Amino acid sequence: MEISLFEPRIPQNTGSIARTCAAFDITLNLIEPLGFSLEDKYLKRAGLDYWPLVKLKNYSNFKIFKDTKRNKRIIAFSKKNGIYLKDFKFIKEDILLFGREDTGLPDYVINACDSLISINMPNVSLSNKDKKGVRSLNLSVACGIAIYEANKQINVQNGN
């Protein structure tokens, strides 16, 4: 399994996700442009001293990323009408793709992926005008939930 971030903007989120990837021994793909430098102190602080354990790969744009991963399933995550996370069946080679913190994944990226997944949030707001619910999860939290569920399913499939 791999985690991919499309044009991440917040270094603390990426650092936290990198730390989770190190803990689960998962490659982290960053699709540029990034909203920060890989030398950013907030990125490094969020990743703590685990950076030597992070398998990090950078891609200069989505097309290059997609071409490189053409033999694997790319699973997009969005609040936009995807299959609920619990109902999707992951396999070991899946690449989980998450969008920018401010705009998510653009439609052209979602359309180029093999599946679209949504994390069920019972108290979600359907628009920015509706202040009664939560608009979305923090990117690092969403990645953590997805990694846990995918890893759980894969371990069950492998008899672990």
Q: Does residue 46 surpass a pLDDT of 60?
A: yes
**Lookup: tokens for 103:** 């705009």
The C-alpha atoms of residue 45 and residue 50 are separated, in whole angstroms, by 10
Q: What are phi and psi of 45, to 5 degrees?
A: -65, -40
User: Looking up tokens 């093999």, which residue turns up?
Assistant: 114
Question: What is residue 132's predicted lDDT score, i.e. its pLDDT?
Answer: 67
The C-alpha atoms of residue 123 and residue 139 are separated, in whole angstroms, by 17
Element (H, E) at 11: helix 11-24
Average pLDDT, integer, range 109-124: 88
Q: Domains (ranges, CATH) in the chain?
A: 2-157 (3.40.1280.10)
Distance from chain centroid for Cα 133: 22
Q: pLDDT tens for residues 20-41? A: 999 999 999 999 999 988 887 8
Please count the other Cβ atoms lying within 10 Å of the Cβ belonging to residue 140. Answer: 22
**Lookup: tokens for 152:** 């759980």
SS3 78: coil
Q: pLDDT tens for residues 131-151? A: 666 667 889 999 999 999 999
Task: Share the mean pLDDT of the chain.
Answer: 89
